[in-house]
Structure 1
Amino acid sequence: MATKTVFFSPEEPFQLGVPHLFGAALLFLALLWHWAQDERPFPGFPVINKEKGEWLNTKAKNRMINSANKLMKEAYEKYNGKPYQIIGETGPTIVLPPHMAHEIRNIHDLSFTHATERVFLPKFKGLEPFSAGLADHDVFQSAIRINLTQSLGSITQSLSDETTYALSVILPDVTEEWSSITWVPFATKLIARLSAKVFLGEPLCRNEDWLTISMMYAVDSFNASRILRWYPPFLRPFVHFFRPEFKKLRQHIKDSRRIIEPEVAKRKQERRAAITAGEKPHKATDAIEWMDEQRKDIDYDITSGQIILSVAAIHTTTGMMSALLWELCANPEYIDDLRKEIVEVIKEDGGWKKTSLYKMKLLDSCMKEAQRLHVIGSLAMGRKVMAPLSLSDGTRLPAGAHVAIPTWPMKDSFYYENPGKFDGRRFLEKRSEPGNEHRWQFVTTTPEHLGFGHGQHACPGRFFASNEIKIAMAHTLMKYDWKFEGEVPLKSLRDSEWIPDPTAKIMVRKREPEIPF
């Protein structure tokens, strides 16, 4: 039977049914809503990564992800002390010139909390532990800034002992012969164990389930929040319930409660029993105790506090340690001098003392230099403008805008001679200048070195991170030799932030330390 070919013609027009029209209307409204929800740049500030004719911010965001260093360098040179605007993954940000860092550092109407909420989206189930670090009651910040910092001297020896144990667990098969390991996972496991020692105390610090959660929650939460940010805000409350990334986060939190809450309840019971018996309750030297002390009558979730404490501590410190050892392998002439410094200090102090880490000034300088070359992100000091604000240079910031300071000065030849080269003695020499002894320490923040931010919201855990890295590096340098497996530079997985490649290989072998460790 012959088939008849039907063509649509003006005489017989194709008719769209009601369902088709309704669907098309819904699609149009969804696209219109998506466009409306896509944050608009603020007028009066040039945008460096969005081109004419682009309605949405998608392409601009991708340019920031893939070419951040190039964009930031060009903008830094082009605008030369004037503000501009960049569209990142979280939306538009007004980038203020570096010299404004000191002025904005403590302004009340520039909110660190609201800026951070835009990044991590803590109102969604699975990401709520971030609220424990951002709440107005300051339990989290006080536990770190006051309790942890005041305890640094008393935990030095125990951290050294835990490093010895951790290395025996993490590198059990390393011998006097060269072997290859993936460096970033090794550093992550080591820092996770040292952090758990201080945050959870014994016996939980060696709980393998917790150690896994403490390492994975940061990775999984960053990934989940990044994925959710790509959805229009009106879809996020629905989408997050079904995304597998959020299911994984909720399981992490459930497992964390199973591990931590019995210990919190046990301590509370022991404290009550001691008081009833007329005895002084035992006080542990760990973050469970510190958070409990700081929360007073506040209903504070200690499990969430522990999770976010691990997020804040482990991966930033791992990135720093990874960058440092990689730079030392690329510049091995520093390793012998560092070993000599470590030996001299430990001999002089008769072991690990409160002052020992401060005396390791070459190590401190190498750490700060590695951080300078591998800064955690292109922008620092992110804040949300809560009320219209005028700055001293006449810049008017509208309410609702987000602002930040570029970290590019850390690679500027105006501040640092030969800025692209690792100079392990750079900050040691700067500290020898009159009046600069403290200005160029690893933990000191300045507008030209924003590795830890600056001002009131500079990283409160940087003093602990400094001690932790020094102890970990002292052990790894004294007990092992290190070298590249080939000449492969340590790469970042993203151009807009420092995420060291977790597949990078490095060679290691045992050595006999000059002194007992």
Structure 2
Amino acid sequence: MDSAFVLPHPASMGASCILGLLLLTILRALLIPKKALPLAINHHRWDIFNRRAIQDFTANPQDLIKAGLKKVIDPQIAPRFAKGTFLVLPERYSEEVKNDERFSAYEALSRSSPQIILLELPGFESVFEGLMHNDVVLPGVAAMNRQLASLTSPMSEEVSHYLQTNWTDDPDWHTQSVSASMSGLIGQAAARIIVGPELCRNKEYHAITLSYTMSRGRALAAIHAWPRALHPLIHWFLPSCRNVRTQIRRAEKLITPILERTRRHRARGDPPQAFSTLAWSDEYARAQGRSYNATLAQMRFTSSSIHNTSDLLGKVMLRICQRPDLIEPLRREIVAAFDGGSGAQHHSLGKLKLMESVMKETQRLEPAAERVSYPPPLTPERLTGYSIVNMFRVAKETVTLSDGTTIPKGTIFGFSYQNRFDPSMYPDPETFDPYRFMRMRQDPVQASLASFTKARSTHLSFGLGRHACPGRFMANDMIKLALSHILLKYDFKLVGEELPKLEMHGFVYAREPTAQILVRRRQEEVVL
């Protein structure tokens, strides 16, 4: 797979080193045989360094992908961007690919892949799809899913505590940041399940977990400003990389005492404590004889549970602000669902059909960016946005699909997300219709597809098959709990009339996280 040359950082590299790297890059491009990928749709003759190709991709990748899918006979397109050529397939191939072991979701992010998110460097290992600790982390997510019914009440406690502490009981209008509020709220609720009650309200721990992903993104951008050959060395000297490792050490100091107490309880044969992925994963690793880093494992749980969940929650809040006529129907639904006087119960969440429809419709229009570190990197500070390509894979061998489409070994590819605008599936697809998936539930053929957590080829927000997002069930519960508390306890409205504009960043459309809302306390009809 051919890759574009990135000029070295000029700060301390000599001219001879730069010239040598330049010559090596040119020789590589001329002499190394290319894999049989389709011609990049933004390929230009004599564009040796792919500068025009990168400009085309940066200018409007969504139109580029749409045009490519329409004009090529071969059902695959390959837009060229800053880190090489990337294959994009229509969604119809996702069913065939989803469980095929010849394709790897993990290796698309690993050190063997030209996708380069640097999992091999100290401080960069805690990416959820990475290979490190999968034999501990993934079973931990499965265990968490089995405990969902018992986790509803503790999560609800943390949502309530966060809102009372940060949004307060002030009956007068006051301003709150949507992005900061949703990240903080989801972060505290998730921490209760990940590290338990001792640490879930710790301000230092929250500061680390909320900033780590952004810090990692900044460090990635800093490393990628240098030639790839220098990555194993240069990261030791870059301040942004040192900061990432410092954050992990700080998190370790907070997590280790809790982990040691948990181990002492277990050694004494004390009754099991409340579920946490920290305790469960440690017991599982011990029982299975697995070696793992407890801090990195929990950082992976945290990173994958907070950012996409809070991003979607914030988007739903803004959609409701734009459609204030939804507030009263949603409140009535919440009151009816929780009107048993027994607080937040898991079975009540399943009754929130309108809320779930609003969530899924928001996700259809603004699917989460799969990773801020996917090339071309999303600016780390812009964590809200949506992706136009999803379900990334790498071919471990050359594969010919059922219709003759060939994917060469080593090819990294994803699936276009154009079905979400297909009018045969979604009438008036460009319009936000909060009742769309409620109506779908009334259709016997489509009813099973209306669930927020349903992974399917026409709605790839959670991926598909064996690698579908395992945390989507927890995300569903956290978002519903958060919205229930907010809608019952607060009036809210958007500050100003317009949201920050969406801007393109490669495969991701991102929005500056500056939206604010006015909130004021109201008397809730039922107590959660």
Superposed CA offset, 1:171-219 (max 9, x none): 23x6322222221111111111011011110111111111111100011
**Counterpart in 1 of 2:79?**
86
One-letter amino acid matched to 2:299: I
Matched, 1:371 2:382: no
SS in 2 for 1:205: coil
Count of aligned residue pairs for this structure pair: 488
Residue 24 to residue 182, structure 1, CA distance change in 2 (3 Å): closer
Superposed CA offset, 1:98-126 (max 9, x none): 10000000111111111022352111122
SS in 1 for 2:164: helix
**Counterpart in 2 of 1:443?**
453
User: Matches of residues 480-499 of structure 1 in structure 2 within 5 Å?
Assistant: 480-492=490-502, 494-495=504-505, 496-497=507-508, 499=510
User: What TM-score, normalized to structure 1?
Assistant: 0.89
Q: 2:514 aligns with which of 497, 500, 503?
A: 503
Moved more, 412-421 or 69-78: 69-78
**Counterpart in 2 of 1:97?**
90
Matched, 1:148 2:144: yes
CA distance in 2, matches of 1:199, 1:360: 25
Mark the runs of 5 or more structure 1 residues left unpaired by the alignment.
Answer: 1-22, 275-279
Moved more, 186-195 or 294-303: 294-303
Q: 1:291 aligns with which of 274, 281, 299?
A: 281
**Counterpart in 2 of 1:312?**
304
Task: Give the alignment's Cα RMSD to 1 decimal.
Answer: 2.3
Matched, 1:513 2:518: no
Matched, 1:260 2:255: yes
Superposed CA offset, 1:103-159 (max 9, x none): 000111111111022352111122022378533752111110x21100110111111
User: Matches of residues 374-385 of structure 1 in structure 2 within 5 Å?
Assistant: 374-376=366-368, 377-385=387-395
**Counterpart in 1 of 2:105?**
112
CA distance in 2, matches of 1:262, 1:410: 47
CA distance in 2, matches of 1:55, 1:28: 16
SS in 1 for 2:487: helix
SS in 1 for 2:462: coil
SS in 2 for 1:138: helix
Q: Does the aligned pair in 1 maintain the 2:65–2:77 contact within 8 Å?
A: no
**Counterpart in 1 of 2:315?**
323
**Counterpart in 1 of 2:237?**
242
**CA displacement at 1:228 relative to structure 2:** 2.6
CA distance in 1, matches of 2:403, 2:129: 36
SS in 2 for 1:347: coil
Greater C-alpha Rg: 1
Moved more, 409-418 or 69-78: 69-78
Residue 491 to residue 477, structure 1, CA distance change in 2 (3 Å): farther
**Counterpart in 2 of 1:134?**
131
Residue 64 to residue 414, structure 1, CA distance change in 2 (3 Å): farther
Superposed CA offset, 1:266-305 (max 9, x none): 211221122xxxxx55243011122123322111111101
Moved more, 235-244 or 422-431: 235-244
SS in 1 for 2:394: strand
**CA displacement at 1:28 relative to structure 2:** 2.4
Residue 131 to residue 469, structure 1, CA distance change in 2 (3 Å): closer
User: Matches of residues 179-218 of structure 1 in structure 2 within 5 Å?
Assistant: 179-218=174-213
Moved more, 490-499 or 35-44: 35-44
Q: 1:27 aligns with which of 15, 18, 25?
A: 18
SS in 2 for 1:380: strand
Q: 2:246 aligns with which of 235, 248, 251?
A: 251
**Counterpart in 1 of 2:326?**
334
Q: 2:215 aligns with which of 191, 207, 220?
A: 220
CA distance in 2, matches of 1:321, 1:41: 44
CA distance in 2, matches of 1:281, 1:50: 64
CA distance in 1, matches of 2:469, 2:49: 34
**Counterpart in 2 of 1:161?**
157
Residue 198 to residue 239, structure 1, CA distance change in 2 (3 Å): same
CA distance in 1, matches of 2:523, 2:35: 60
Residue 189 to residue 390, structure 1, CA distance change in 2 (3 Å): same
CA distance in 2, matches of 1:28, 1:137: 41
CA distance in 1, matches of 2:414, 2:27: 24
**Counterpart in 2 of 1:13?**
none
**Counterpart in 2 of 1:15?**
none
Q: Does the aligned pair in 1 maintain the 2:119–2:130 contact within 8 Å?
A: no
CA distance in 2, matches of 1:349, 1:442: 26
Matched, 1:361 2:372: no
CA distance in 2, matches of 1:284, 1:452: 28
Q: Does the aligned pair in 2 maintain the 1:64–1:88 contact within 8 Å?
A: yes
Moved more, 422-431 or 81-90: 81-90
**CA displacement at 1:66 relative to structure 2:** 4.7
**Counterpart in 2 of 1:351?**
343
Residue 494 to residue 286, structure 1, CA distance change in 2 (3 Å): farther
Residue 84 to residue 124, structure 1, CA distance change in 2 (3 Å): same
**Counterpart in 2 of 1:45?**
38
Moved more, 377-386 or 57-66: 57-66
SS in 1 for 2:229: coil
Q: Does the aligned pair in 1 maintain the 2:343–2:527 contact within 8 Å?
A: no
One-letter amino acid matched to 1:290: W
Moved more, 151-160 or 506-515: 506-515
Residue 77 to residue 503, structure 1, CA distance change in 2 (3 Å): same
CA distance in 2, matches of 1:348, 1:281: 31
Matched, 1:54 2:65: no
CA distance in 2, matches of 1:516, 1:319: 26
Residue 40 to residue 334, structure 1, CA distance change in 2 (3 Å): farther
Residue 58 to residue 166, structure 1, CA distance change in 2 (3 Å): farther
User: What TM-score, normalized to structure 2?
Assistant: 0.87
Q: 1:391 aligns with which of 387, 401, 412?
A: 401
**Counterpart in 2 of 1:457?**
467
CA distance in 2, matches of 1:348, 1:453: 36
Mark the runs of 5 or more structure 2 residues left unpaired by the alignment.
Answer: 1-13, 369-386
Residue 440 to residue 89, structure 1, CA distance change in 2 (3 Å): farther
Residue 28 to residue 103, structure 1, CA distance change in 2 (3 Å): same
**CA displacement at 1:80 relative to structure 2:** 7.7
Residue 50 to residue 294, structure 1, CA distance change in 2 (3 Å): farther
CA distance in 2, matches of 1:419, 1:456: 29
Q: Does the aligned pair in 1 maintain the 2:215–2:240 contact within 8 Å?
A: yes
